[in-house]
Chain A
Amino acid sequence: MDKKTHKDPAKTSAELPSVDLNPPEVQPQKPPAPPAERTIELPEELRKRTVKGPGGVEIEVEPLRDYYCEAPPTVMPAAYSKIVEDLFNWARAESIWILGFGTGCGAIEMRPLMTPRYDAYRYGIQWRPTPRQANLFVISGYLSVKTLKRAIRSYEQMQNPKYVVGLGSCTINGGMYWDSYNTIKRLDEYLPVDLYITGCMPRPEALLAGFMDLKRMIRAGEAEGANKYAEYFDWYKANQKRVIKDWDMPDYSW
């Protein structure tokens, strides 16, 4: 192969147009949406009600308060000494467990990674069926508002330390759905993105390169998305609630 034209796939994500992944305090805030034409009611199972227990005891139930933890997430401080934190980060980087939740077209490109041809497992990367066991959430393409709702809940159910990777143009600036009435355009307004992988859709090699970058970031202690989410929690919640108009879930679902 011609050495000069050969492009190191690992470089692809380093060549990203620089996007600011930090939630800035002074972002152009949109005014709240005008009063809705239609008032949205909570679904019946989430409304406050009284239920009859055994022996005729009446119990007041308020699902959104009673069934979920209400405490917002907190910032996780680093370990007491740098060398220990480095050890932790090394361990974290070597076991990246992805939540098997595909949104948008890009989810198709994750399948080949699980097969022998690309075999992501050799890098300590594997897919898990539940958020409880995962520490990486790959948002694999456009997110409709309806999916965003599920994505937020899934993300919040993942345990620290956790990371988010945005896959494809749709997560960066809306991609070809930039004028859609139903898809969000900037993922980092709603979830703390650690890394973006460009392309529409990115090939499995690009994903692998992205994962390698993510590993480097984790080892360097730079993948601090979850802490950012905790720190700017109100900012994220406000953004989420602005687009999810029928907010019928707890603010934070552990």
Chain B
Amino acid sequence: MIELYEQLKQRYALGEISVQRFDLVFITVPRENLASLLLYLRDTEGFTHLVLLTAVDWIEDNKFQLTYLINNRESATDLGLRVIIDRDEASMESIHDLWPTAATYQRELKEMFGIDFPGSPRIDEDFILEGWTEIPPYRRDFDTLEYSRDTYLERPGRSTSDPAQHMKQLFYPEDKD
């Protein structure tokens, strides 16, 4: 994987690399390079399988991180490409032309994070949620607890106990500490 990184580095501007395992590596790349890099990796380096496309909300930096995880079946290695995009008016180039399945991930990201992928098929249709009217629910500034309190009626009398404490009480009530 390191050789691959060195080799890619000669052609593309790459950001930092983080080696998770010998067969799992993440590389941060500038967004302009992403599509050509994916195409090159898919067609020349054998990373033919798009495992997932997901996002992380770095609300403190006002950024979204997109992770494109691709897999090389021959060598059983995974490579994650990370792209950092702006959180306001978040939008990214679609890669549904490289992997048609990406369109589904992109629809999900549009609905759950509000990241737009112009040109991606059916991107504006409801995906999992129906009739959602709030900010996208996976954004970290969306408070699910508060929303669920406000929206769904609760039954009074619900209590929560710490499992460890509860079992201790049950089986070793004399044990104090």
- Same assembly: yes
Chain A residues closer than 8 Å to B144, beta-carbon distance? 179-181
User: Does A210 count as interface, using CB distance less than 8 angstroms?
Assistant: no
Min CB gap B34→A, angstroms: 30
- Decide if A38 touches B154 in the complex (CB within 8 Å): no
Minimal Cβ-Cβ distance residue in A for B150: A30
- Given the known inter-chain contacts A40-B131, A181-B137, A245-B131, please indicate yes or no for A33 contacting B148, CB distance below 8 A: no
Chain A residues closer than 8 Å to B142, beta-carbon distance? 181
- Decide if A173 touches B154 in the complex (CB within 8 Å): yes
- Decide if B153 touches A173 in the complex (CB within 8 Å): no
Chain B residues closer than 8 Å to A239, beta-carbon distance? 153
- Decide if B130 touches A246 in the complex (CB within 8 Å): yes
Min CB gap B43→A, angstroms: 39
User: Does A178 count as interface, using CB distance less than 8 angstroms?
Assistant: yes
User: Does B129 count as interface, using CB distance less than 8 angstroms?
Assistant: yes
C-alpha gap A173/B151 in the complex (Å) = 14
Binary flags per residue of A2-29, CB closer than 8 Å to B gives 1, else 0? 0000000000000001010000000110
- Decide if B145 touches A179 in the complex (CB within 8 Å): yes
- Decide if A174 touches B131 in the complex (CB within 8 Å): no
Chain B residues closer than 8 Å to A19, beta-carbon distance? 155
Min CB gap A35→B, angstroms: 9
Minimal Cβ-Cβ distance residue in B for A177: B148
Min CB gap A184→B, angstroms: 5
Min CB gap A239→B, angstroms: 8
Min CB gap A31→B, angstroms: 9
User: Does A243 count as interface, using CB distance less than 8 angstroms?
Assistant: yes
- Decide if A181 touches B147 in the complex (CB within 8 Å): yes
Chain B residues closer than 8 Å to A173, beta-carbon distance? 154-155, 157-158
Min CB gap A27→B, angstroms: 8
Q: Considering the complex, which residues of chain B in the window 102-160 have a beta carbon less than 8 Å from any beta carbon of chain A?
A: 128-134, 137, 142, 144-145, 147-148, 150-155, 157-158
Chain A residues closer than 8 Å to B129, beta-carbon distance? 146, 182
C-alpha gap A204/B150 in the complex (Å) = 35
User: Does A172 count as interface, using CB distance less than 8 angstroms?
Assistant: yes
Min CB gap B119→A, angstroms: 22
Q: Considering the complex, which residues of chain A in the window 130-175 have a beta carbon less than 8 Å from any beta carbon of chain B?
A: 145-146, 149, 172-174
Minimal Cβ-Cβ distance residue in B for A38: B133
Chain B residues closer than 8 Å to A246, beta-carbon distance? 130-131
Chain B residues closer than 8 Å to A28, beta-carbon distance? 153
- Decide if A186 touches B153 in the complex (CB within 8 Å): yes
- Decide if B151 touches A186 in the complex (CB within 8 Å): no
Min CB gap B170→A, angstroms: 16
Min CB gap A154→B, angstroms: 16
Minimal Cβ-Cβ distance residue in A for B133: A36
- Given the known inter-chain contacts A180-B148, A185-B148, please indicate yes or no for A244 contacting B131, CB distance below 8 A: yes
- Which of B128, B129, B151 has the most chain A CB atoms inside 10 A of its CB? B151
User: Does A194 count as interface, using CB distance less than 8 angstroms?
Assistant: no
Minimal Cβ-Cβ distance residue in A for B145: A179
Q: Considering the complex, which residues of chain B in the window 21-48 have a beta carbon less than 8 Å from any beta carbon of chain A?
A: none
Min CB gap B57→A, angstroms: 15
- Decide if A33 touches B151 in the complex (CB within 8 Å): yes
Chain B residues closer than 8 Å to A180, beta-carbon distance? 144, 148
Binary flags per residue of A25-60, CB closer than 8 Å to B gives 1, else 0? 001101001001110100000000000000000000
- Which of B129, B147, B150 has the most chain A CB atoms inside 10 A of its CB? B129
List residues of A whose CB falls within 8 A of some B CB: 17, 19, 27-28, 30, 33, 36-38, 40, 145-146, 149, 172-174, 178-186, 189, 239, 242-247
> Can you identify 19 A-B contacts, CB atoms within 8 angstroms?
A38-B132, A40-B133, A145-B130, A145-B131, A146-B128, A172-B155, A173-B155, A174-B152, A174-B154, A174-B155, A179-B144, A179-B145, A180-B144, A181-B137, A185-B148, A185-B153, A185-B154, A243-B152, A244-B131
The 3 A-B pairs of least Cβ separation, nearest first, read A246-B131, A36-B133, A245-B131
